[in-house]
Structure 1
């Protein structure tokens, strides 16, 4: 009899734990982020009180070739919070949200937060000023949705904002050494960060054509090649997720003429936080520029 009672107690305990776990999971705030770097920021701010799904995850694929699926629409339908870039970077999100009606769903469009619109460079996450603004907006939502844990959300926001100073410090050092240095790029992915550093960015018409998937003019291609051949630029920044024929051609020329190249991506690599990702790329850029003398 004693053994039966103990077994029953154990079973009830296990059932209770399972119910508690299910309740804990159901109490987490469901968030969908179109891009995985925004998802990472939400996770840092919400911890185990958020359940985050990201749509664009693979740093080896061109995000411009993404096609939404029914699975994506279902995730949005159950989301309490949706975060996406805007500025025509992820236009499929507007379509998905229109057909996936969610009750009491809050949407954060990053472009609207930072005052960008269609036609502007959409790679907003490379602007050092963007993520603190996004983090504050997400944290405000979390506090409103779950006021009982305000102190935890506030602490996480403070930690996140403090961690962003690492990026700011690296940008400041690069600016002090390389402001005005001419560089070039295959696409304007790194454009906002390049502006923050103070580079003289060349071949911007070529970059816009590549981003918009149109053919650059013969004159723009020739100007790009001349910059590499005559070493008028001190580094080539290229988007390793979009390696079309022209990108490969410019990379080959940079190798032939000994112009250092630095890879950047549009998607957060697996196993890294947003801060680690930005820091890694800034360090790679700093290393590529080491041999340059003012």
Structure 2
């Protein structure tokens, strides 16, 4: 679904590189603050937490009301990438336009951190890696390692910020552990696999995976898979419906309506971090909403 206007992007990159090319003797200078581009705003938020005033962060995908699968790259995106010293993106074919843009903008000093590569994930795996509790600690450590190397004068500050960031994840880990103890094995369903890694961490039993994969890939779910999903909702075989409010169509909206009619609580999740919330707050808010839904369903 992603579309890239390469002629416009190449033209913008060429103009930007002419303007921003470093002068003699400055090839190894570390600019202050360091320019960073994150493909997704939750990675951008983590970079900002770790880098503080020593970084300037541009996040490409940042609108929680827009389907990220329909993103179109622009010359502005290309210019930001051409100036970046660090690029952080998801990988696993979630943001394939990043590889095309980076290939169009050769920058020897630029470093890329790819979450999927850190976690050993590849195209075909569930790409919604930020819902896995393992992801952000790994990404944060990789970002800090880069910042320490690129800007050694502030290494102690980066170390302190990394420690604070990892500590800030402890309430999230505690919430996951408590919910796992309470709801392990509870059957739930979802319109897409966006919440899949978190559901696994919670020990929940996820149903209707073929339907979810069809929705994610933009293909048509089979009649049998649709019928099975509807039966789960009508007969209340599941205790909650996870609904991706950022990527919906007539069929998924139909499932949401059926869940409401059947008394199955729906928990809305997004693929993009909402404005005004940190990554930690966003994850904890969604877990609290799911906890409330499952607690009510168990009464």
1:171 pairs with one of 162, 172, 176: 176
Deviation at 1:180, TM superposition (A): 0.2
Instruction: Name 1:278's counterpart in structure 2.
Output: 283
| Unaligned ranges ≥5, structure 2 | 1-29
Residues of 1 paired with 2:265 and 2:92: CA distance?
31
CA distance in 2, matches of 1:98, 1:293: 52
- TM-score scaled by structure 1? 0.91
Asked if 1:56 corresponds to 2:57, the answer is no
- The answer to whether the Cα contact below 8 Å between 1:76 and 1:102 also exists between their aligned partners in 2 is no
Residue 227 (structure 1) shift: 0.1
Selected match of 2:105 from 100, 112, 115: 100
Is contact 1:73–1:96 with CA below 8 Å preserved after alignment?
yes
Deviation, 1:26, is 5.2
| RMSD of aligned alpha carbons | 1.1
Q: Based on CA coordinates, which of the two structures has the bigger radius of gyration?
A: 1
Is residue 216 of structure 1 aligned with residue 221 of structure 2?
yes
* DSSP 3-state at the match of 1:209: helix
Q: How do 1:1-294 residues align onto structure 2 when only pairs under 5 Å count?
A: 27-293=32-298
Paired with 1:56 and 1:116, the residues of 2 have a C-alpha distance of 21
List 4+ stretches of structure 1 deviating above 3 A: none
**Normalised TM-score (structure 2):** 0.89
The alpha carbon displacement at 1:291 in A equals 2.3
Q: Partners in 1 of 2:188 and 2:78 — Cα distance?
A: 41
Could you tell me how far apart the structure 2 residues matched to 1:98 and 1:163 are?
A: 36
After superposition, the C-alpha distances for 1:16-58 in whole angstroms (9 at most, x for unaligned) are xxxxxxxxx9510000000000000000000000000000010
State whether residues 264 and 297 of structure 2, in contact with CA within 8 Å, keep that contact through their aligned partners in structure 1.
Answer: no
What's the offset of the Cα at 1:292?
A: 3.5
Structure 2 distance, partners of 1:209, 1:247, is 11
